[in-house]
Structure 1
Amino acid sequence: MFHSFSSHKKTSPSPPAPARLNKSCSECTRRKVKCDGGHPCSSCAYYKVSHLCSYRQRNKRNAVSRSTLEEVSERLRSRTETLERLFPGRAVDDLAGKSRDALLDLLRVDVTPGTAAGESAGNSAGDPDVADDSAQVSENGEPAADRQWDESSHQPPVLQVGDDINAINLATDHHRRSYLGVTSVSAILRAIFRLCPSAKQRVAEQAKQWPEIPSQPQPQSFLSGDMSANLLKEQRCIDFYFEHVHPIVPMLDEHDFRTAYSTGDRRDPGWLGLLNMVITIGSIASGSDTLHEQYYEQARTFVDLDSFGAGNLESLQALCLLGGLYLHYRNAPNMAYAVIGAAHRVAIALGLHRESRRRNMNAAEAQAGATLNPVSRVEIRRRTWWGLFCFDTWASMTLGRPTCGRWEASTMDTTLPSLVTEDDHVAISLRASAQFCLICNRIQHRFAQFNRLTIPEAVAFDQELQAWFNSLPLVLRSPTNSPSRLTIAREFMRNRYLNIRLILMRSLILYLAHGRIQKTQLSVEERQIINTCRVVASEAIDSIALYWTPNRIHVWNSAWYLFQACMIPLLSIVIEGSRPDPNVDAVSSARASLVKALETCSEMRPWMRASDRGPDIVAAVYEAITGEAEAAGRTPSQDGDSNFFGWYDEQLTFGTELDWGSFLMDDDIQGTLFTTTQ
């Protein structure tokens, strides 16, 4: 009989095997003698070095297979190629340790023109920190119409008054939309109507009730009528031009111009185009409502496409007056923008962007020439270049568009305008304007970049602007020390100075609102920006109300900048009206500023154009946001039609929609933000 025996006793798990030791101790290995593996071993005991007897643990070998090595190498190579495509020309080691924001800033700076419209636009959609003000998508996600506008003179009068840049096409063609950035009026208006959707409808209803612009009479033929009467009209317009417009941008030699006109010797197309543009703008300064139409039609026969085929200084000056002044007066800012761009190319082709070394005269020659000719030909070339530069910069302040290399110190070295005599006030004016526009050129270039403006940058720009203004001579700062001929030029300069400071601050305020600020995050610098914006806007309204003069050119300019300055008081009232406990003092101060602005517009009305809608827009928005709709609860519009008016349908230079909720409910911010005017 066989029996099987099994043990039912549970066995404990065996302890892990000790780490394998080397067969020989370290001392025997050093002596190169046989070791028996003891501790201490017999050899170490024999040599009486038992304290040195120790065994090293054997290190495990990590052998890597060839396939694993190839896989890791391929992965490293693909990541390196991706980084090189994102950051061309930058070493990978230089990118190590940088934060996400720093890498995004480098990515925006390194973006190439070929990827700006494609890859960069795609990144903007996925990253809320990337600004994208060029999106062709409406608020409800539907594709928007392609950008287009029609500013031709063949439109009906009711359409001729509507342009999207100046935001005056409330009740006209809503399909005209050109590219505008965060510096534009449409950005502020869009914010106002998102905060107060009920006001959007009320303003539209009021806009439809505005009277149509009366049609202008057809231009008359210059060959009919009394020629002596026409000559008197022309002489009067030329006088008004040199008295009121020439000091703003003194591109012409007044002595040579008047001599050529009186003798009648010059009949070349360039000169005739310039003559008719001077008369056209001079007729506006004289107060005529219709005369400029007649002379503009005459000027168009000389300033046309053929004028680009015969480049000369006079035809360039005619283009500058056309694109820098007159087309803006006709509410055709996009057409003016294109004409000035073409004029810039003509100026470079004429070599005005370079200081001619061969034509520079020494001091004695210059003094001798000054006695014969008040302004030398070289100086006129300089003044024409800087006049063109100023026209382009002034018109682009609120566009948010690239500067297209308007001034590059590495390729352009034209000297600033110089004074022929010590009391050459027009040269002083143009020189100061050129220095101001050099600062504005850098500001506009910064706004056109993908990454948003920072507070330190805005503060630095603002300090530079203030330093420029404080360095101006008294004739350009003080009305009591300024000659009468510089009145309009001085006030133009002050309005533009305050406006560019206002644009800097109000754009930052929109950024702050977009960032869903909490009250614990509002820094001292941010509070200072908000307060500076309020102070500058109040100063702008007070300055225009105090110093405007009854002249159509001056009123045209002042009314536009007054409209700009009214945006923040309107936004202030909307924000305070959305709070459960509004700041009564802030609302009262904002209303007082708006009342002052509207009263000033009422006083200026006789000298305004029939197409000036700025006061109507301000009054309509003011009535809408302070009316009965204010009592109803407001929430930011989420499904409104962003094409409602056509001029505020941009994506406010942000990748995501505005979220005003947390911003509006912040009591601490509301006590500081928008306490009065823009």
Structure 2
Amino acid sequence: MPAPKSEWDEERREKDQMPVEADDVNALSLSMGKQAASYLGASSVKVALTVMLQIQPQLQILLAAQSSPDASSDENARINKIPLFRAASRSTKAKPPIPWTYKGQALVDAYFKRIHILTPMLDESSFRKYYNEGRRCDAPWLSLLNMVFATSSIMSTPSSNLSHIKYYNQAIEHVHLSAFGSSHIETIQALALLGGYYLHYINRPNMANAIIGAILRMATALGLHRELPPEEQFDAAVIETRRRTWWTLFCLDTWGTTTLGRPSFGRWGPAINVQPPKLVTEQEESDSAQYAGIMPLLENIKFCKIATKVQDMLAVTPLLKTEDRSHLDGLLVEWFNNLPWLLRSTEPCVEPLHLSRCIMIWRYWNLRMLLYRPVLLTLACKAQLPIEEQDVVAVENCLNAAREIIDSVSKGWTRQQMSGWNAVWFLYQAAMIPLVAILWQPDNPSVVHWRAQIESILELFEAMQDWSLTARRSRDVVSRLLEASSQISNATSGTDPHNPSLQRGGPSGEVSGFWGSEGADAILPSGYSTGDIVDMLDQDWPWNMEVDGLAWGQQIPLLEEDNDAGSYSVDDGSMGVDYLSLATAETDALSQPPQPPP
């Protein structure tokens, strides 16, 4: 459920001092303030953080005692110069064309080497032709060219370089609100770079999500979702540009919303009949950047169709039945096993292909991890009960996927921002899994391995600081959580983990604290309520202690099955008080497997 406050402000950094890396989604601020925030579902990072707090409420005391980075520091002051998106006012004054320069040529080359390889929506030959001529001065072209400069400037320099701001400002001068009502394919492509890359880079994920949603509708208005009639004669390059633009938008929307826990809103369905891009056309050489980007795009389209199914099903009921979860995981494994050898191999290759296939594999393991994560989080939240084998397997799959992400990133990342930016994000996601496991089972022999995984992540974050805007802050958050978990483990060492006093009920078995009659308003020994704990981890909390179908802020009667001493499975639909439980009659239907999107 969304928070009762029907507002959120992603741009309050203008008014409030806060870490520049913090945003409304990724829980990097560790602030005690209470702010309205946007809706996030169970695939988000904040769910994992909340589960940690439920497992070990004393975690908030330790985190509160640690000093937070000063949001007004020189580093934050420098990067907070990154601008906001403001639509330009429409002007009748003609803009001059942008002439060819050596620097501009280098940026164009960098774009087709490090961005086009992932999202090949531009026609490389015509784009280079227009830039070399330096004659066009229409708004769609100027906005697109400047966004190409802005994104390629980021990807070809360290994270300390802010030259991209100039190009961003120039691009926005040519984007006014009326552009959303008069679709032009180059405007759509410019906004795709803005919403698909740039706004995510400067930590405006909600704005990025809104813009991608808008331009999908702009693309629909242009008919990009439909294949052109075969009986009509169209230029092959035009047909391919339409296909590549549509499927690029499809992938960008999927990638950008995977960890938001929000439904896809029909980005894929029977009304969309546009064909996948062709691997090569008559106008292209087989060794061009255009060609190199199409093969990964074709496989990314297949992946994103599966990811859309996963996303929609998790948005309905995160705790899927075993057979549904296995089916989706089987689709992902089949996709991976059928990848072309060039994309699955770890053999050395040219930089663009290496970048593309690394990020593709990181996404694969990340989605498999998110598919199984609800089982881990649910079991971690529950009092100790017998666990069925299928649940043990699901937890192992989640832990294995997190480990694969860490191993793959450590072997594949390179010192450039497209690689470092993605690597940090996937590592941050993966770090939550061993952290939850350590807090859940501090006496498990595997804690040594889980801790080693987190320490490896911290070392990678350290190495990536020049190549990711969020590496430093991600390292700080993860290291503080690890330090706090170590203190908790040391404090409880030698204590029987099965002792009822360590479970959610006290020695008498009576539910207390967060699970008691006061719910989220219960005051813990530190003087904070559970709601305060979440606010301490991040000033943005989207549910006001509510997660889809269950209000955490009130006491929900335990279901009879919770008192059953028999076998226990997270898939039986009778979880009782749990963050993924379906506790109301209205949501009983959700225990049935949802139909996959068409």
TM-score normalised by length of structure 1? 0.69
Cα deviation for residue 156 of structure 1 reads 6.3
**CA offsets 1:23-54 (integer angstroms, 9 cap, x no match):** xxxxxxxxxxxxxxxxxxxxxxxxxxxxxxxx
Q: 1:611/1:546 Cα in 2 relative to 1: closer, same or farther (>3 Å)?
A: closer
Aligned match of 2:200: 328
Q: CA 1:218–1:440 in structure 2 vs 1: closer, same or farther (change >3 Å)?
A: closer
- For residue 200 of structure 1, report the CA deviation from its aligned partner: 1.5
After alignment, is 530-539 or 211-220 more displaced? 211-220
Cα offset for 1:301?
0.8
Q: Is the 8 A contact 1:163 1:333 kept in 2?
A: yes
Match of 2:405 among 540, 546, 561: 540
> Among 625, 648, 666, which residue is 2:485 paired with?
625
Answer yes or no: is the 8 Å Cα contact 1:171–1:204 preserved in 2: no
Hey, what does 1:403 align to over in structure 2?
A: 264
Partner SS state of residue 214, structure 1: helix
Shift of 1:304: 2.9
Aligned partner of residue 267 in structure 2, secondary structure: coil
8 A contact 1:186–1:647 mirrored in 2 = no
Structure 2 CA distance, aligned partners of 1:550 and 1:348? Answer: 38
- Give 1:194 shift: 1.6
Tell me how far 1:608 sits from its aligned partner: 2.1
Shift of 1:481: 6.0
Q: For the residues of structure 2 that align with 1:322 and 1:177, how far apart are their CA atoms?
A: 22
Answer yes or no: is the 8 Å Cα contact 1:243–1:485 preserved in 2.
yes
Identity %: 34
Give deviations 1:290-327, integer Å, cap 9, x for gaps.
11111111111112312213311100001111111100
Q: Structure 1 290/268 Cα, relative in aligned 2: closer, same or farther at 3 Å?
A: same
- Residues of 1 paired with 2:152 and 2:32: CA distance? 30
Q: In 2 relative to 1, CA 480–641 (structure 1 residues): closer, same or farther, beyond 3 Å?
A: same
3-state DSSP of counterpart to 1:588: helix
Q: CA deviation at 1:612?
A: 4.9
How far did 1:153 drift? 8.0
Distance, in Å, in 1 between the alignment partners of 2:381 and 2:483 is: 26
2:460 is aligned to 600
Q: For residue 431 of structure 2, what is the aligned residue in structure 1?
A: 566
| Residues 151 and 335, structure 1, Cα contact 8 Å, conserved in 2 | no
Contact 1:157 1:215 in 2 (8 A): no
Change (3 A) 1:310 1:205: farther
The one-letter amino acid of 1:262's match is N
1:646 pairs, out of 539, 544, 547, with 539
1:437 is displaced (CA, Å) by 0.3
- Asked if structure 2 preserves the Cα contact closer than 8 Å seen for 1:219 and 1:293, the reply is yes
1:260 pairs with 2:260: no
- Say whether residues 1:190 and 2:79 are aligned partners: no
Mapped to 1, the partners of 2:36 and 2:551 lie a distance apart of: 24
Following the alignment from structure 2 to structure 1, what is the Cα–Cα distance between the partners of residues 42 and 27?
14
Paired position in structure 2 for 1:468: 335
- 1:164 corresponds to: 24
Amino acid at match of 1:468: W
- How far residue 484 of structure 1 moved from its aligned partner, in angstroms, is 2.5
Asked if structure 1 preserves the Cα contact closer than 8 Å seen for 2:464 and 2:471, the reply is no
1:378 and 2:248 correspond: no
Counterpart CA distance in 1 for 2:149 and 2:490 is: 50
> Is 2:104 the counterpart of 1:215?
no
Quick one: structure 1 residues 325 and 402, their matched pair in 2 at CA, closer, same or farther if it must change by over 3 Å?
Answer: same
Kindly provide the amino acid, as one letter, of the partner of residue 530 in structure 2: D
SS in 1 for 2:446: helix
Cα distance in 1 for partners of 2:471, 2:168 equals 18
Q: 1:455 Cα shift?
A: 1.6
Counterpart of 2:58, as a letter, is: S
- The structural deviation recorded for 1:178 is 0.9
What is the TM-score normalised by the length of structure 2? 0.77
Deviation at 1:285, TM superposition (A): 0.8
The residue that corresponds to 1:199 in the other structure is 59
Residue 502 (structure 1) aligns with: 369
Separation in 1 of the partners of 2:6 and 2:227?
42
* Whole-angstrom CA distance in 2 between matches of 1:449 and 1:554: 32
Alpha-carbon distance between aligned partners in 2 of 1:241 and 1:500, rounded to the nearest angstrom: 27
Q: 1:303 aligns with which of 168, 175, 187?
A: 175
Which structure 2 segments of 5+ residues have no match?
84-96, 493-500, 505-512, 515-521, 523-528, 569-598
Quote how far apart the aligned CAs of 1:214 are: 2.7
State the partner residue of 1:655.
550
Instruction: For residue 183 of structure 1, give the secondary structure of its aligned residue in structure 2.
Output: coil
Aligned residue for 1:448, secondary structure, equals: helix
Measure the CA separation in 1 of the matches of 2:315 and 2:9: 21
Aligned residue for 1:445? 312
User: Could you report, residue by residue, the CA deviation over 1:564-614 in whole angstroms, capped at 9, with x for unpaired residues?
Assistant: 00111111111123xxxx22x211111111111111111112222167521
Q: Does 1:237 align with 2:107?
A: yes
Q: Distance in 1 between matches of 2:372 and 2:242?
A: 36
SS at match of 1:238: helix
Deviation per CA, 1:370-407, whole angstroms, max 9, x where unpaired?
xxxxx711011000000000000001111111111111
Distance change in 2, residues 1:565/1:611 (3 Å): closer
Equivalent residues, number:
500
**What amino acid does structure 1 have at the position aligned with 2:456?**
K
CA-based RMSD of the aligned residues comes to 3.1
Go from structure 1 to structure 2 and tell me whether the alpha carbon gap of 1:360 and 1:570 turns closer, same or farther (over 3 Å shift): farther
Asked if residue 488 in structure 1 is aligned to residue 349 in structure 2, the reply is: no
Quick one: which amino acid aligns to residue 193 of structure 1?
A: L
- 1:219–1:297 Cα contact (<8 Å) kept: no
**How far apart are 1:479 and its partner, in Å?**
3.1
Q: Choose which of 157, 160, 166 in structure 2 pairs with 1:287.
A: 157
* Alpha-carbon distance, 1:157 to partner: 6.9
Give the conservation status (yes or no) of the 8 Å contact 2:196–2:252.
yes
Q: Distance in 2 between matches of 1:176 and 1:168?
A: 16
Residue in 1 aligned with 2:451?
A: 591
Distance change >3 Å, CA 232–CA 149, structure 1 → 2: same
Partner of 2:428, secondary structure, is helix
Change (3 A) 1:237 1:157: farther
Change (3 A) 1:155 1:553: farther
The letter of the residue matching 2:548 is: T
SS at match of 1:180: coil
Deviations 1:123-151 (A, max 9, x none): xxxxxxxxxxx154xxxxxxx64441223
Question: Cα deviations across residues 147-180 of structure 1 (Å, max 9, x unaligned)?
Answer: 4122378556736432131111223864141111
Q: Rate the CA distance shift 1:452–1:549 in 2: closer, same or farther, 3 A.
A: same
Aligned partner letter, 2:221:
A
